[in-house]
Structure 1
Amino acid sequence: MLTRFAPSPTGFLHRGHAFSALTAFRAAQSAGGRFLLRIEDIDATRCRPEYEAAILEDLAWLGLEWETLVRRQSDHLADYHADIEALRERGLVYRCFKTRKEIDIGRAPHEPAIPYVGAPLPADEETQRLARGEAFAWRLSLAAASAALGGFEDLTFVEQGAGPDGETGVIQALPETAGDIVLARKDVGVAYHLAVVHDDALQSVTHVIRGHDLFEAAHIQRLLQALLGLPTPTYLHHGLLVGPDGKRYAKRDKAQTLRELRAAGVTADDLRAELGF
């Protein structure tokens, strides 16, 4: 068994991160396997070196040990762009010039986003827009992907944990629920979905252990694995910790961080006991 914890250095870690990291670490430890740490810092607009340093400090405080070679995604952008180029050569991605605002026209703020499905522009129009220097994103074409694979019926993955609605066992992948996802764009570079399937395969990750808020991501990641000829790991999604207010811990809600807990006198033993470890 080879598991990993793969945080993004966009803020300080909180209890929810600690629970997920400990779950992946203990799973590998119990099976006599290996545990990796990976820094997913492809979003240059939000990631900060100070947060990366704090991740290492917090995880060491928790008592986790990981293999010393820590993969930092920002050091390997060329690898991910090579994947996009391979998909482009097969006609599986296209340039999309629409902004998120244009896609959401007509959608009320309280309504969920509708998965976007588009198509390549006519060659002459695309050439003109490129000549004007207009920004674009590379989107994965579900239509082209379905044609390449003969449909999505054979796409499945094994869930050893549970999704948000209790989904477990052999799961039929439904990548169409995500629409034509963005694989890369200028402002944030390569998208999470592409980088994570590339790295999980490269690092021989056997079990992806993470919160069930990422369960839906497994559907589109399974499609990318099939298109890129990559192995599919076993998935184990776990429940999310919630605070006294019933809301899950999240960076954006300024959840109490591990650094703040430590400053308040909470020990690593205290926190591990609180979290059930």
Structure 2
Amino acid sequence: MPSPYRGRFAPTPSGPLHFGSLVAALGSFLDAKAHCGEWLVRIEDVDKTRSQSGAAEVILKQLQDHGLVWDGPVVQQSDRDSIYQHKLEQLAHYLYSCDCSRKAIRARADCYDGYCRTRQPRSSPHAIRFKNDQPVLTFSDRWHGTVTASTICAREDFIVRRRDQLYAYQLAVVVDDIAQGITDIVRGSDLLQPSFWQLSLWQCLAKRQPRMMHLPLVVDPVGRKLSKQNHAPAIDSRCAMDNLRAAAKYLQLDLPDAQDVADLLSIAVEKWRKKWQITTD
């Protein structure tokens, strides 16, 4: 029997939610509820250098203001360093140290070439890489269809712990998704390419893969990804109904007038269920 649906939204607390974040949150929420499943929220602050004090609390309040209420406790990656370290110890056979700088890697090839597989690092600190001997090079995406790796970089031995001793996103996100029993990952299309590395790690750690759906990427007027780094403005919770309608439109859903946020989301769930022909029998 397939596992019950369990999805998640995993924002980085580098600032409040912007419109692109809301599109990703809404899409993952609608898919979970349309499947009569659970929707979790995880604060992805494994990169402590990017986290802003108080941002996680602001994000959670913004989600609540938009009716996007999660199931179960909120997990914060910054509390899970010991778990990531234990997983690295379990993976020791698949790992090796690397002291190559980005400049040195670029001088040799477009992507990392496995240079340190057969040598000992001569400098410290160094990164730890995963031996990507069985790379995932294609997968089925519910929005994009069959997705094939566009560059040889999908085959490279990727970093699981950085030179600064912080655990890499690729490791943390997969370890946490497996630990939380995530069955479906719904997120922005900016993460399509990292999915190949992550699915390779899923294959090694869990012997299974989640279903994937990468939503349309929200861009600014000059075509750049809408992001906190590009100074995207925070969504205004006082305009929650308008924000949700705009986000739904980006997801190809036209929502009618509604009495309140809860009513609007109920309509959106049914429209999502119909759009993607989701049955819950």
Q: What is the Cα deviation at residue 42 of structure 1?
A: 0.6
Counterpart position of 1:248:
225
User: How many correspondences in the alignment?
Assistant: 244
Counterpart position of 1:177:
153
Equivalent position SS for 1:253: coil
Determine the C-alpha separation between the residues in 2 that align with 1:93 and 1:87.
7
Unaligned runs of 5+ in 2: 249-267, 269-281
Provide the TM-score with structure 2 as the length reference: 0.78
Determine the C-alpha separation between the residues in 2 that align with 1:10 and 1:242.
19
Equivalent position SS for 2:96: strand
Q: What is the Cα deviation at residue 222 of structure 1?
A: 1.3
In the alignment, which of 124, 143, 152 is matched to residue 161 of structure 1?
143
Determine the C-alpha separation between the residues in 2 that align with 1:229 and 1:275.
33
* Counterparts in 2 of 1:104 and 1:122: CA distance versus 1, 3 Å: closer
Q: What is the Cα deviation at residue 213 of structure 1?
A: 1.1
Determine the C-alpha separation between the residues in 1 that align with 2:221 and 2:197.
33
Provide the TM-score with structure 1 as the length reference: 0.79
Counterpart position of 2:67:
63
Bigger mean CA offset, 183-192 vs 205-214:
183-192
CA RMSD of aligned residues (A): 2.4
Q: Does 1:204 align with 2:181?
A: yes
2:153 partner amino acid: T
In the alignment, which of 113, 116, 126 is matched to residue 117 of structure 1?
113
Q: What is the Cα deviation at residue 176 of structure 1?
A: 5.0
Q: Does 1:136 align with 2:126?
A: yes
- Contact 1:139–1:184 (CA under 8 A) maintained in structure 2: yes
Q: What is the Cα deviation at residue 229 of structure 1?
A: 3.0
Equivalent position SS for 1:183: strand
Determine the C-alpha separation between the residues in 1 that align with 2:187 and 2:101.
30
Unaligned runs of 5+ in 1: 107-112, 147-151, 163-167
- Contact 2:29–2:39 (CA under 8 A) maintained in structure 1: yes
* Counterparts in 2 of 1:101 and 1:231: CA distance versus 1, 3 Å: same
Runs of 4 or more, structure 1, over 4 Å off, are: 171-176
Counterpart position of 2:105:
103
Q: What is the Cα deviation at residue 12 of structure 1?
A: 2.0
> CA offsets, 1:62-94, max 9 Å, x none?
111102411111111111122222222x2x211
1:273 partner amino acid: R
* Counterparts in 2 of 1:174 and 1:195: CA distance versus 1, 3 Å: farther
Determine the C-alpha separation between the residues in 2 that align with 1:174 and 1:202.
30
Q: Does 1:76 align with 2:66?
A: no
Identity fraction in percent: 33
